[in-house]
Structure 1
């Protein structure tokens, strides 16, 4: 078996419009396609990073809340690589998004910090 790359990450949100705004207007992901699946009462929004398909954002009626902290089993977080960690943090703070303090990865010595999306999904920003 040979895996080429990660194809996409699927995220289910509790407030579709709020999450759509967060991922597109604040994080700057590009909309590829948006469809409403009436039989499921569900939106599916395909998003790209630098032209590469990356995230599927879904809405479903009354999804259960995600356990995030303390650390739960399952997907831990989503991480984005950025060129300038301080500029990224300041940009997010300008939107009143709570950001952790910038830390240094003890193994790579690269800078990083975390935020949460509208559904409390941990998102990491990691210095290139």
Structure 2
């Protein structure tokens, strides 16, 4: 049996690193990590607790895929947040479309500039 200890990182494909950094750093407030080694493609890593988010500028095999209207029914990255309403307000102010969780819990879904689905879920961190 395989024993998995924890999730280390999630990698997502982006087309324009400057546009993506403006979204992830400017709107979401993530700070680039200095842990990314030199690679043969552009990208940036963000430390989020024990995990990382890796943005990769590589050919996108899903570029022509039809995405579901609700990000919760698509591949997505989920972030724990303190206050979903604060995220909602920031997205409203930035003109970013989103949908609230269909389960009724305190969560919302949006897409980054490349259509990657993101979830923001209110989770108490102990």
Normalization by structure 2: what TM-score?
0.77
Determine whether 1:110 maps to 2:105.
Answer: yes
Q: Distance in 2 between matches of 1:5 and 1:66?
A: 32
* Change in CA separation of 1:36 and 1:63 when aligned onto 2, cut-off 3 Å: farther
Q: How many residues align?
A: 116
Instruction: Give distance in 1, aligned partners of 2:45 and 2:107.
Output: 26
| Cα 1:87/1:70, change in 2 over 3 Å | closer
Change (3 A) 1:36 1:115: same
> Helix, strand or coil for the counterpart of 2:32?
strand
* Cα displacement (A) at 1:6: 0.5
CA RMSD of aligned residues (A): 2.3
TM-score by structure 1 length? 0.76
Distance 1:114 1:67 in 2: 19
CA shift, 1:97, in A, is 1.0
More strand by share: 1
Equivalent residue of 2:33, what SS? strand
2:6 is aligned to 5
Structure 2: 5+ residue runs without aligned partners? none
**Shift of residue 76, structure 1, vs aligned partner:** 1.4
Tell me how far apart the structure 1 counterparts of residues 37 and 22 of structure 2 sit (CA, whole Å). 16
